[in-house]
Amino acid sequence: MTTIITPKIKISELNLSIDKQEILKNINVEIPENKITVLLGPSGCGKTTLLKTLNRLTDLYDNVKISGSVILDNEDILHTKSDITKIRQKMGLLSQRPYPLPMSIYGNISYGLKIKGVKKKKILDERVEHYLKEVNLWEEVRERLHHPASALSIGQQQRLCLARGLAVGPEIILADEPTSALDPLSSQAIEEMFLILKKNYTLVLVTHILRQAKRIADYVVFMYLGEVVEQGPAEEFFSSPKMERTKAYLKGAFN
């Protein structure tokens, strides 16, 4: 392969411990731009923590110690003095289950625009429609934009949360097992959306579902007990894994 992949995020020598318990050990990962990078591994291997380090949600943890660096756009996120809210706006987060804001459907999408300073109703209306269309939710909700978001089904809520994240204008989408609470059809809808979104966004997806990783991954990072065991382009990773532990995992020896 001759294509040079430009890394969007460069994680180097990242160590993280909470209450002196090591969660992440010496992580070195480069996340390629406009690709779907899948963080794969059994539960409790630290993949969610790694994801949360990327937008510094780890700030919410008590007694946490982090060393190393996470470079995004020539800036070390972990040690930057610039406004963390601005950095977070570069990264949308989709969590395990949808957490819509306690507002209307319209309010959920316009929230992100409003805190970025968009005030004109015409622009807001236009943008809300645009992002709802982008996640294929527009037709389902156009008649009830001002109904509470809680009235939507879980699958619709998750798409709403995706649209809400996109409305802030991120470059990266972080997804933490985004389909684990959803039915198969809604999961499929989310996966299909990711494949479209990667044209314009860099996606980082945490999953423990091997088949999902095979379906959509471009680049795979396999983690086990807080360490990166193996990483590489998806094809290579699934067809010819190098490490014994990866082979065992792919065969389904442990989950």
Partner 1 sequence: MIKKAEEIFFRILMIISTVAIAAALLLIIFSILYNGLPALSWEMISQIPKGGFYFGKEGGILNAIIGSLYLSVCSTLIALLIGLPVAMYMNVFMIKHRNTLNSVRFILDILWGIPSIVYGAFGFVIMIYFGLKTSLLAGIITVSLFIIPIMVRSMDEVLKTVPSGLLESSLSLGSTKTEISFKIFLRQCIPGIVTAVLLSFGRAIGDAASVLFTTGYTDSIPESLSDPAATLPLAIFFQLSSPVEEVRQRAFASAAVLTFVILLISIAARILSARYNRNKIKF
- Report the residue number, 62 or 143, with the smaller CB distance to partner 1: 62
Min separation Cβ 173 and partner 1, Å: 10
Distances (CA, A) of 152 to 108, 125, 140, 155: 12, 20, 10, 8
Burial group, residue 224, by CB count within 10 angstroms (0-12, 13-18, 19+): buried
Min separation Cβ 152 and partner 1, Å: 10
Could you give the strand order of the β-sheet that contains 64-72, starting from the edge strand earlier in sequence? 21-32, 7-18, 64-72, 75-76
Q: How many residues bind partner 1 (CB under 8 A)?
A: 36
- Separation CA 39–CA 56 (nearest Å): 17
Piece of the chain touching partner 1 by CB under 8 A; list 85-93, 121-129, 215-223, 226-234? 85-93
- Separation CA 36–CA 89 (nearest Å): 19
139 binds partner 1, rule: CB under 8 A: no
Q: Of 7, 10, 33, 97, which one interacts with partner 1 (CB under 8 A)? A: 97
Per-residue x/- marks for partner 1, 104-123, CB under 8 A? x--x---xx--xx-------
Backbone region of residue 55 per phi and psi (left: phi > 0; alpha: psi in -120 to 50; beta: other values): alpha
- Report the residue number, 174 or 182, with the smaller CB distance to partner 1: 174
95 binds partner 1, rule: CB under 8 A: yes
Min separation Cβ 4 and partner 1, Å: 30
DSSP 3-state of 185: helix
The tokens of 132 are what? 């709802």
Min separation Cβ 37 and partner 1, Å: 18
CA atoms within 13 Å, Cβ hemisphere of 173: 32
Find, among 169, 168, 197, the residue nearest to 178 by Cα.
197
- Report the residue number, 67 or 150, with the smaller CB distance to partner 1: 150
The tokens of 71 are what? 């470079």
85 binds partner 1, rule: CB under 8 A: yes
- Separation CA 121–CA 130 (nearest Å): 14
- Report the residue number, 178 or 226, with the smaller CB distance to partner 1: 178
- Report the residue number, 150 or 240, with the smaller CB distance to partner 1: 150
The tokens of 160 are what? 């709403």
- Report 5-64 residues binding partner 1 (CB under 8 A): 52, 55, 57, 59-62
Min separation Cβ 13 and partner 1, Å: 24
Site residues (CB under 8 A) for partner 1? Answer: 52, 55, 57, 59-62, 85-86, 88-89, 91-93, 95-97, 99-104, 107, 111-112, 115-116, 148-150, 161, 164-165, 168, 174
